A and B are shown apart, each in its own frame.
Chain A
């Protein structure tokens, strides 16, 4: 079945780095753009980053620009989020999500269960 599974979360000190992964299966990963969306404890959804199907374009929320890098390996059906210079306000559950169609700007219809990141000393 179509699914995405996130991993790599954990507890990290402020200023340190962490890399999240999202393994896709059940669909042709290389045809879809992919998103990262996060949710701080008790808060709403915040879009973080998006990458085109071929990695040629990447977009970031202002809150993470210059610190986070989205990438993908289509040969491994895997999406990544490299998070550097982490701050307490980056504490959240991070979801990867797939658009409904090949149009990268579409609604997001496939979501993982998320991986939790806690930034704390």
Chain B
């Protein structure tokens, strides 16, 4: 099973500043990496797939990078509506499909 590890657990960022979230895989997942945003009381929403491709309707301030075992989600200019928990997920080697434990983004 591929273990996904996210850091930090919590990130506090002021509006307009950059937020950088990290995700590490226990073995290579190539570019088969997705990022999801989950706001309080809501279902997860796909943000990024293929490590760097924005899903339909996702604002350009969200970007993904990386390949192999190291990945980054960047929010270039944090907005108040970006308050959420962000999860990475690998879909390279399955089953199981595995998620990271999440990074909570707080507005400072």
Contacts and interface: CB of A to CB of B under 8 A. Distances in A.
Q: How large is the interface on B (under 10, 10 to 19, 20 to 34, 35 or more residues)?
A: 20 to 34
B91 A107 contact: yes
Q: Which 10 A-B pairs have the closest CB atoms?
A: A107-B34, A107-B49, A59-B95, A111-B43, A47-B97, A109-B46, A45-B99, A44-B102, A44-B101, A105-B91
Given A44-B101, A45-B87, A105 B96 contact: no
B36 to A, nearest CB: 8
A35 B96 CA distance: 11
Contacts of B55: 100, 109
B22 interface: no
Contact of A111 (B45, B92, B97, B102): B45
Nearest to A35: B97
A44 B97 contact: no
20 contacts: A44-B85, A44-B87, A44-B99, A45-B99, A47-B97, A50-B95, A60-B95, A61-B96, A95-B43, A95-B44, A100-B46, A100-B49, A105-B91, A106-B49, A107-B34, A107-B50, A108-B34, A108-B36, A108-B89, A113-B42
A99 to B, nearest CB: 8
Interface string B45-74: 110011000011000000000000000000
B104 to A, nearest CB: 11
A9 interface: no
Interface string A89-104: 0000001010010000
